[in-house]
Amino acid sequence: MKSFFVILFMASLFESGSAQSNGNYANVHGLKMYYEVYGDGFTLVLIHGGGSTIGTTFGRILPGLAKNHKVIAVEMQAHGHTADIDRPLSFEQDADDIAELLKQLRISKADIFGFSNGASTTLQVAIRHPQLVNKIIVASTFYKKDGAQSWFWDMMKNATFEGMPQVYKDAFPDISPDTNALHKMYERDVTRMQTFKDIDLKEINAITAPALIICGDNDVVRPEHAVEMYRQMQHAKLAILPGGHGDFIGEIATLHPGHNKFPALQIIETFLSEMRK
């Protein structure tokens, strides 16, 4: 019943958007990378969180974003429609894949919005490919290990597939019936976090793109770290909102009756509409 409700709910959101999805694949560094295109306007790239997909991370706000932007929503290596390949999984590689996709789509500059692991990738896009970046939005992320709550690392140390949020497992069969792919996605993400390496502070300092940093006051990232990251960037804004990991964008794990307000959406729109570089 829960699986049916989640799929029906997500489908109704996409049907209510200003544009229908346009699923595509691109050959990127040996990866058959899946992406969807919505709306018109200046390009906004969406990068989902770990263990997640376009729909499970952004499904509840994507129709709103597509009203004013050309949204390119991607699924990264081993996630959703994008199958795994035999190479390491890293935020740096994900960033290079995003850059190559934009090159193939003849997009010279874009806004990049990442959530959780996707925000770590967004930071790497800004560091490694600054010429492609207009503005960045990094939601619920940290650039060094002590930026996360201590309980998060305890959880990662003893992670099991059984502990993966059930809503992610319920949503996955709608994309692929391959349960091995679901397990592989989980294993890949856990391994990446268990071997997480800090980003050098000099690289954070060197980001010149205007940045919006968002987190919840009860998030995986410590609010104090979000403030620190805000102070370390050259052109940053900060929003700390009530709630946990992804509440403010309606990430699927926050699904509960009456949850239909996404306070980050207006903040994001205001930030993106300000004069561009």
Task: Summarize pLDDT for 4-43 with one digit per residue, the tens.
Answer: 333 333 433 433 333 445 799 999 999 999 999 999 999 9
Residue 261, pLDDT > 90, answer no
When divided into structural domains, the chain yields a total of: 1
What band does 178 get if pLDDT is binned at 50, 70 and 90? confident
3-state helix, strand, coil in the chain (%, to 5): 45, 20, 35
* Residue from 108, 76, 69 nearest 92 by CA: 76
Mean of the per-residue pLDDT values for the chain? 90
Measured CA to CA in angstroms, residue 107 lies from 101, 111, 114 at distances of 9, 11, 18
The candidate with the shortest Cα–Cα distance to 254, out of 161, 14, 263, is 263
Separation of alpha carbons 251 and 255, rounded Å: 7
Average pLDDT, integer, range 122-143: 98
What is the domain range of residue 219? 2-273
**pLDDT of 79-124, one tens digit each?**
999 999 999 999 999 999 999 999 999 999 999 999 999 999 999 9
Rg (Cα) of the chain, in Å, rounded? 17
List, for residues 149-173, the tens digit of each pLDDT value. Answer: 999 999 999 999 999 989 899 988 8
| CATH label of the domain that carries residue 46 | 3.40.50.1820
- pLDDT higher than threshold 90 for residue 177: no
Answer whether residue 276 shows pLDDT above 90.
no
